[in-house]
Amino acid sequence: MGYYNQNYPPNPHRKKGNSWIPLVLGIVIGALIVSIAVPRFLEMNEQVKTGSAGNNSNDVITQQVVSLNLSTRITEIVEVVSPTVVGITNIVHHADFLEQQQDSEAGTGSGVIYKKDNRYAYIVTNHHVIEGADEIEVLLSDDTVLEARLLGTDLFSDLAVLRVDGDKINQTIEMGSSDNIKVGEPVIAIGNPLGHMFSGSVTQGIISGTQRTIPQDFNMDGRADWQAEVIQTDAAINPGNSGGALINMDAQLIGINSMKINQEAVEGIGFSIPVDSAWPIIDELEKTGQVKRPYIGVEIYSLEEVPRLEWDETLNLPKDIEGGVYVWSVEPLSPADKAGLDRLDVITHLDDEQIMNMIDLRKILYQEKDIGDEVEITYYRDGEKRTTTIVLGVQR
C-alpha cells in the first residue's frame, strides 16, 4: 500500500523532539570518515602508480644498459679486429693491340692476417678471390698497398694463403673455435663488400645454423662435385666480403666468409667456412703450397645420373642396388689400375661404408683416409659382385 496523505492536521499528542541533532551528528561523522579515508586512498593509489612507473623505468634502464653494453662491445671488437682484415685485389695481365702489357682488376675480395714472423705476414682468403690472378695486391686498413705472393690455394675448401712483407703489419687476428658455437650466438662479419670503396664494412648478426652442408659445382656442369660444411649466419655477406672474417663476441676468428658458397643471393643467409676445419688446410697451404689428398685414379660419376634402364641393360646391376658410382675411365698406372678396376665398374662400398654418389666417395677418401692406406673396394662388374684392395696414392 502506497503512501497516502489526506491533509490531516498533525497529531496533537505526538511529542516534538530535536530532529536537527542526528543530522548534525551524521554530517560530522561523515566528514571525519571522508577526511581520513580519502587521503589514505589517494596515497595508496599514488603508491601503485609510483610502483608501476618504477618497474617500467627499471625495465627501460635495463634494456638501455644491455643495448649499450652490446653496442659498446661491438665497437671495441671492431676497433681490435679491423686492422687485421684487408682488401685483396686480383690483377690480370693482358696485351693490347700493340702487344703492350696492360693490367686490369679481375675482382676484389677480403682477407684476414692470421700470422706474422720476423719477415712476413700471412693472410688467408678464398680460392675464388685469387683464382686466375697474375698479381695480387693487399690493401691494409690504413690504405697501404702491398704486393702479395700466393703460397697455395685449394679448390675444395675454397681457401688460399698469401704472404706479404711484415714491416707494415703490427697485428694479427686471434684464433677462436667454431666447434663450440651455438645457434643464436651474436657474431660480426668484417670485409670489403662491393669493392675497396667500402673497405672495413661491419655487419652484425647471429649464428643461424651450424654444420650446414652446401652442394658445390666446381665445373658448372650441373652436377655437385663436393659438399661444403659451413656456418650459416644472417650477418650480411656480399660480393667483396669473400675471404673476410666472421668474429665472435670475444673478438676471435671463427670463420672465413665465402660468397661463392652462397651462389644464389638470398637475403639474410650467408655462409662462412668454420675455422676449425679451415686451420689444418691453411697450415698445409702455408707450408707446402697444396693440400695433398688421397686419390685412386679414376674418373667417376654418380649412379643416380644414369637412367634406370641402363642400370639393368648396360651395367647389369642387381635389383637391390640403390646407389653407387660408376667408373668412366681409369688412369694408367694409377692405384685403381693396379687394383684391377675397369671402365663401367660400379663401386658401392669403401671398407664396408656404403657409397651412394661421388660426394660420398670423396668425403670418405678426403676426411677419413690417408695417403698410403689400404682400402677394400666393393664393386660390381657385369652384375657380379667383386672386391679388391687398393693402396691410396697422392694426386700429383
CATH number of 176-283: 2.40.10.10
Cα separation of 382 and 271, whole Å? 43
Dihedral over alpha carbons 39, 44, 46, 47 (to 10 degrees): 140
- Residue 241 reports pLDDT greater than 90: no
Domain limits, the chain: 83-165, 176-283, 294-394
Q: What percent of the residues of the chain are helix, what percent strand, and what percent coil, each to the nearest 5?
A: 30, 35, 35
Residue 56 has pLDDT above 70, yes or no: no
Q: 136 near 162, Cβ under 8 Å?
A: yes
Q: Which residues carry out catalysis?
A: 128, 158, 242
Q: What is the pTM of this model?
A: 0.73
Query: What whole-number distance in Å separates Cα of residue 107 and Cα of residue 208?
Result: 29
When computed from its CA atoms, the radius of gyration of the chain, rounded to whole angstroms, is: 38
Distances 145 to 58, 142, 156, 292 between C-alpha atoms, Å:
51, 9, 29, 32
Give 28-39 pLDDT, tens digit per residue.
565 555 555 555
Which top CATH class is 294-394? Answer: mainly beta
Q: Give CA–CA dist 144/33, Å, rounded.
A: 85
Q: Does 176-283 match 83-165 at the fold level?
A: yes
Q: What pLDDT does 61 receive? A: 47
Question: pLDDT tens digits for 270-292?
Answer: 889 999 999 999 999 999 999 99
Model confidence over 102-153: pLDDT tens digits? 555 567 889 999 999 999 999 999 999 999 899 999 999 888 999 999 999 9
Over residues 57-73, mean pLDDT: 56
3-state secondary structure of 104: strand
**Domain range 83-165, CATH architecture:** Beta Barrel (2.40)
